[in-house]
């Protein structure tokens, strides 16, 4: 019993170490330029050991996002459900997003950089974006029911509008090497989403 437990912890530990080392190297070098040897070195295991835990190099990336996705979307869900108004929901979604990326900068770097390509990833990333857009759509609908969001919206476009803006703000933060507080961007961004940049008189 004891041994099994230790063994499992060992396995888990090694799995996690490889995962972490992988993301770290991916962040530093890019997925393509990263080598198994470097990941192994950073994880403190032999090259071959990686293949006991992962199918191949891409699998490290895929599994990482697989794991994180659930965790992060659970946070998003919770954040949204704790809010009363659609405005607050939107704010909390975006805040959570920024928090999560700020907490794990290596993940953020890899996500922002690799997300638009990599065939192995493609499906996962698309899933992630799609799920994110679903949350936005849900909030929009709530807001429309509440009457705080316009009803004459092309939802498909609005989803991209919001996702794109948030994504770009995160990306800028990543490229700036995280030297300022990302989460503080959430509030002014939500304001822009709701009120736009036009002055009230504009109509």
Contact positions toward DNA, by CB under 7 A?
3, 7, 10-11, 14, 33-37, 45-49, 51-53, 56-57
Which residue number, 48 or 147, has a Cβ lying nearer to DNA?
Answer: 48
Q: Which stretch binds a copy of itself (CB under 8 A): 4-12, 13-21, 38-46, 186-194?
A: 186-194
Q: What's the token pair of residue 60?
A: 């490290």
Diameter of the chain measured on Cα atoms: 72
Per CB under 8 A, the list member of 2, 8, 111, 137 interacting with a copy of itself is 111
Closest separation in Å from C-beta 21 to DNA:
12
- Taking CB under 8 A as the rule, does residue 127 contact a copy of itself? yes
Residues 111 and 98: beta-carbon distance below 8 Å: no
Residues 23 and 40: beta-carbon distance below 8 Å: no
Closest separation in Å from C-beta 64 to a copy of itself:
9
CA separation for the pair 157, 31 (Å, rounded): 31
Closest separation in Å from C-beta 194 to a copy of itself:
4
Which residue number, 110 or 166, has a Cβ lying nearer to DNA?
Answer: 110
Residue 195 CB coordination number (10 Å): 10
Which residue number, 44 or 188, has a Cβ lying nearer to DNA?
Answer: 44
- Taking CB under 8 A as the rule, does residue 189 contact a copy of itself? yes
Give me the helices (H) in 30-148, please: 36-43, 47-53, 57-81, 86-103, 105-114, 119-146
Closest separation in Å from C-beta 11 to DNA:
4
CA separation for the pair 98, 189 (Å, rounded): 12
Query: What's the CA angle centered on 31, arms 125 and 165, to 5 degrees?
Result: 40
Per CB under 8 A, the list member of 19, 21, 43, 115 interacting with a copy of itself is 115
Closest separation in Å from C-beta 96 to a copy of itself:
9
């Amino acid at each position: 019993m004891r041994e099994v437990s230790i063994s499992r912890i060992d396995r888990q530990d090694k799995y996690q170490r490889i995962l972490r080392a992988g993301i770290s190297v991916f962040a530093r070098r890019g997925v393509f330029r990263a080598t198994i040897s470097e990941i192994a070195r950073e994880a403190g295991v032999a090259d071959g050991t990686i293949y006991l835990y992962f199918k191949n190099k891409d699998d490290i990336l895929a599994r990482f996002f697989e794991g994180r996705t659930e965790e992060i979307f659970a946070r998003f869900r919770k954040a949204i459900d704790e809010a009363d108004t659609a405005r607050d929901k939107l704010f909390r979604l975006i805040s959570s997003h920024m928090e999560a990326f700020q907490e794990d900068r290596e993940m953020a770097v890899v996500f922002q950089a690799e997300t638009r390509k990599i065939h192995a990833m493609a499906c996962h990333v698309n899933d992630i974006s799609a799920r994110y857009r679903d949350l936005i759509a849900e909030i929009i609908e709530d807001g429309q029911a509440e009457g705080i969001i316009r009803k004459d919206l092309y939802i498909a476009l609005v989803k991209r509008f919001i996702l794109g803006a948030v994504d770009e703000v995160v990306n800028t933060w990543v490229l700036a090497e995280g030297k300022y507080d990302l989460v503080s961007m959430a509030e002014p961004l939500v304001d822009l989403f709701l009120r736009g940049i036009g002055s009230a008189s504009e109509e």
